[in-house]
Amino acid sequence: MNTYESEREQLEALQKWWKENGRAIISGILLGTIAISSWSSWQVYTTQQAEKASLHYEQLSASVKSNLHEEAIKQGNALVEEFPNSGYAPLASLVVAKVAFQQNEMEKVKAFLQLAIDQEKSEAVQQIARLRLARLLRDEGKWKEAMVFLDGNVGEFSSLYEEARGDILLAQGNPVEARLAYEQTSAGNNRSEGQSRVRVQTKLGSLGKK
């Protein structure tokens, strides 16, 4: 507002300004209060959901340690369905996939690995799931499908991916290309240390000299 010479003029101007803008201000304050309240409520809700998901994951882990496989699968499935956006969902998918593998329930293995791949919480979990699914499809003789999961970002798992690629190429009857893939593992990172490196060297040895 402008500055007026008398208080009366200022008061009249204030009354006029309030008449024109008061409703909008009140609405803005109410909306702001609602927004703050909604954000606070959302934060509380998110925290509660995270705590519930954490509890479910602890129960799942306990069942796995106790070899309660069927119970673990049920708990993992419930966690993924009830808390799909939590950070525990992709981890639970990996855990349950492993349990299902031990139970020889391969369709469940593939389903849970695919769930881990489809999530967007952790690239590392996606990369592990893709590698495991590729290996599973390789064992089923589905080599082309397996190769699809070996493409894309592999993060710190490049050596393990190249080893899996070499295994598939060898199974397809391409020893030359398989050798190249195995040799790439030594150019990868430290994920190929230890048993993995020894395993690859054994595979290279079985292929003989160039």
Query: Is the backbone of residue 2 left (phi > 0), alpha (psi -120 to 50) or beta?
Result: beta
Task: Kindly report the number of other CB atoms within 10 A of residue 108's CB atom.
Answer: 18
DSSP secondary structure of 26-67: HHHHHHHHHHHHHHHHHHHHHHHHHHHHHHHHHHHHHHHHTT
Asked if residue 156 and residue 90 are part of one domain, the reply reads: no
Q: What is the three-state SS of 129-197?
A: HHHHHHHHHHHCCCHHHHHHHCCCCCHHHHHHHHHHHHHHHHHCCCHHHHHHHHHHHCCCCHHHCCHHH
Handedness of CA 177, 182, 183, 187 (dihedral sign): positive
Domain containing 78 equals: 9-119
Asked if residue 156 and residue 109 are part of one domain, the reply reads: no
pLDDT for the residue numbered 22: 46
Chain mean position to CA 133: 15
> Is 34 a member of any domain?
yes
87, 119, 151 - which closes a domain:
119
Asked if residue 163 and residue 106 are part of one domain, the reply reads: no
Asked if residue 138 and residue 71 are part of one domain, the reply reads: no
pLDDT for the residue numbered 136: 94
How high does pLDDT run on average in the chain? 78
CA nearest to 112, candidates 127, 99, 94? 94
Asked if residue 131 and residue 96 are part of one domain, the reply reads: no
Residue 122 burial (10 A CB sphere; 0-12, 13-18, 19+): middle
Question: In this predicted model, what pLDDT tens digit does every residue of 31-77 receive, in sequence order?
Answer: 555 555 555 555 655 666 677 888 888 888 898 888 898 899 999 89
